[in-house]
Structure 1
Amino acid sequence: MSATHLSPASTVWSMDPMALDARLREFLTEDIGHVDLTATLMVDAAQTGQFEMRAREPMTIAGLSVAARAFSLYDSSIDIELRVADGQAVPEGTTLMHLQGPARSLLTVERTALNLIQHLSGIATLTAQYVERIAGTGAQLVDTRKTTLGLRALEKHAVACGGGRNHRLGLDSGVMLKDNHIAVCGSISAAVARARSRVPVLTRIEVECDRLDQVEEALAAGADVIMLDNMPVETMRRAVELVDGRVPLEASGGVRLETIRDIAETGVDFISVGRITQSAPAVDIGLDDVDAPSMQAS
């Protein structure tokens, strides 16, 4: 992978600075407790150090500025130089960040910063793999609300860094009528009518369907988006023909790298994949002393 390649989504929104700082303070407090006992005992307060954050495998970067902010929030005297950007695909061995400052502070923040960038870059890397599988089909990969508690905004940013698109950021971002909502109202038509009479004027209504007759009912009821939930590929293809471009279609349910291309080729507009945030493995990134490259966090 080229170190100069940037995801088309690499310039999208990032978490509000005030909200980010509040979250980072929680993370740092959780890890530090009352005091970093090891760093305080072993490192003199006046001692300085230089460290480089390096990629130990190929990956797509997400959360680099978040990791950098963890260091500067804890100690504003740390000098930080970012060598790459979120959304960038880098090869093994790439230096992501250079840090210089009080060694005690650098070692105290090390694990919190690495946990974040390893997790978020893992999401971006897996997302990029899914996006590559459906290239040229016209379908777009979107995420879900299957996110880690406390990390949703950052995980959805990571999806965007990998070239994916964000679905709802939360329950207040849109109306999605699922099977239980429909059961309570009695029918898709009744559920859509009820939602339409009360929804904010610019908010879209999406309806989950797992059969073609439900797709027909949702279309007639005036749904803005229709989700094809766990449908076989051939049934999805028939749904696409039935809808004929009148509303966007989202495919969802059990999508994997091995199956996403076939789903995309049915003609759906969006494919939502929970596993890109729920099951992405962390990538390997280390913080190495410039003079002792073998030093790692445990």
Structure 2
Amino acid sequence: MRESTEQALRVGGLDPSEVRGLIVGALTEDLGPEFLDVTSVATIPAEQTDTADLVARADGVVAGLAVAAAVFELVGEVTGAGRTVEVSLVAHDGRRVARGDVLATVTGPTRLLLTAERTALNLLSRMSGVATHTRAWADALAGTKATVLDTRKTTPGLRSLEKYAVRAGGGTNKRFGLYDVAMIKDNHKFAAGGIPAAYRRVRAAFPEVPVQVEVDTVAEAVEAVEAGADFLLLDNMTPAQLREVVAQVGDRAELEATGGLTLPVAAEYGATGVDYLSVGALTHSSPILDIALDLRTE
């Protein structure tokens, strides 16, 4: 992987070594134990080189170009071909693109271009789909106080990439895992004997970790704040209930609405005065952005 690609990943908040491992695993999955692309080897001379374009087949927001570049740059190493692919990025992550736009150009051994094609497109299309969906939510919330958040409902192994795509689309990341934020949910409250007890136990065990409490009613919201919580997850509340929580809690806690949220009602919920809307669908239900690899014919 080239130093410039590693730097682009770092700038985006991604760990190049983690991305490398993910790509090697994905290419290995495609190539099998013999690291072999039987179709390309059979049909294309080893010395043939070509140029191809990564082209958007639909309008959307692009994300993951440096990840796609890393796939092309690593494919020669993974296959043992000992040859390299040159990548030139045309678009930029977070940019709106239109059907037919060229996003990047790759030049190198034709076999390698086609061997890397599906892995690169799987990652780029997935990440761009998440960014496109996120941008729709960000646009819907424009003019309100609220920001759209992601959740832990991510594809196993792809969390860092999908959360990066949320950022590229104009959203905000919530917690990355079970380690960086304590989330006291209904089952925790039940097992601990109530909100105050659960909150005290978390604070005693992990005094520096941020604590969020899930609440289902206005009364629970007030109870949680009085127990010390400064971040509330307001689960499946109506806009009227959210406005009441905002009135009761004021600026004593950050407020996050979640549960049953859809784009048509995003602005209504954002206008209640909450700080965030969390949407699991950003990562668990976003359709891909269709992107293709086209070999140049001239």
TM range (shorter): over 0.9
Per-residue deviation at 1:200? 4.2
1:175 corresponds to 2:175: no
- Counterpart of 2:92 (choices 85, 94, 110) is 85
1:196 aligns with 2:197: no
The CA deviation at 1:251 is 0.4
- Kept in 1: contact 2:166–2:172 (CA 8 A): yes
Which residue of 1 is the match for residue 23 of structure 2?
Answer: 24
Offset at residue 13 of structure 1 (A):
3.4
Unmatched 5+ stretches in structure 2? 1-8, 77-82
Determine the C-alpha separation between the residues in 2 that align with 1:41 and 1:285.
26
Q: Specify which of 121, 127, 131 is matched with residue 120 of structure 1.
A: 127
Quick one: distance in 2 between partners of 1:278 and 1:59? 18
Quick one: distance in 1 between partners of 2:12 and 2:110?
Answer: 32
What residue is the counterpart of 1:53 in the other structure?
54
Residue type at the aligned position of 2:231: V
TM-score, with structure 1 as normaliser: 0.92
- TM value normalised by structure 2: 0.92
Aligned to 2:69: 68
For 2:109, give the aligned amino acid. P
Q: 1:226 aligned to 225, 232, 250, which one?
A: 232
Q: Is the 8 A contact 2:10 2:16 kept in 1?
A: no
Q: Find the counterpart in structure 2 of residue 3 from structure 1.
A: none
How far apart, in 1, do the equivalents of 2:116 and 2:207 lie? 43
Q: Is the counterpart of residue 279 in structure 1 residue 280 in structure 2?
A: no
1:247 aligns with 2:253: yes
CA-atom RMSD in angstroms: 1.4
Contact 1:226–1:250 (8 Å) recurs in 2: yes
CA distance in 2, matches of 1:266, 1:11: 36
Which amino acid in the other structure matches residue 223 of structure 1? A
**Could you say which residue in structure 2 is the equivalent of 1:146?**
153
Percent of counterpart pairs with the same letter?
Answer: 43
Q: Which amino acid aligns with 2:153?
A: K
Structure 1 residue runs of 5 or longer lacking an equivalent are: 1-9, 293-298
- Greater helix percent: which structure? 2
1:210 aligns with 216
C-alpha distance in structure 2 between counterparts of 1:173 and 1:261, whole Å: 30
Give a deviation string over 1:19-38, Cα, whole Å, max 9, x none: 11011100000011121110
1:141 and 1:12 map into 2 onto residues whose CA distance is: 22
Q: Distance in 1 between matches of 2:251 and 2:37?
A: 58
Output the CA distance in 2 between the equivalents of 1:99 and 1:200. 50
**Do the aligned residues in 1 keep the contact of 2:130 with 2:286 (CA within 8 Å)?**
yes
User: SS at 1:51's partner residue?
Assistant: strand
For residues 130 and 192 of structure 1, the distance between their equivalents in structure 2, rounded to whole angstroms, comes to 32
Residue 128 of structure 1: CA displacement? 0.1
Deviations 1:236-290 (A, max 9, x none): 1100100011110000111110111111000000110000111000111110011
Cα deviation for residue 148 of structure 1 reads 0.4
Q: Please give the alpha-carbon distance, in whole angstroms, between the structure 2 residues aligned to 1:57 and 1:208.
A: 38
Find the partner of 1:236 among 238, 242, 254: 242
Query: 1:41: how far off?
Result: 0.8
User: 2:5 aligns to what?
Assistant: none
Aligned pairs, number: 282
Structure 2 counterpart SS, 1:99: strand
Where in structure 1 do 4 or more consecutive aligned residues deviate above 3 Å?
10-13
- Conserved? CA contact 1:12–1:160, under 8 Å: no
Q: Which residue of 2 aligns with 1:39?
A: 40
Structure 2 CA distance for partners of 1:251 and 1:92, relative to 1, 3 Å: same
CA distance in 2, matches of 1:254, 1:68: 37
SS in 2 for 1:74: helix
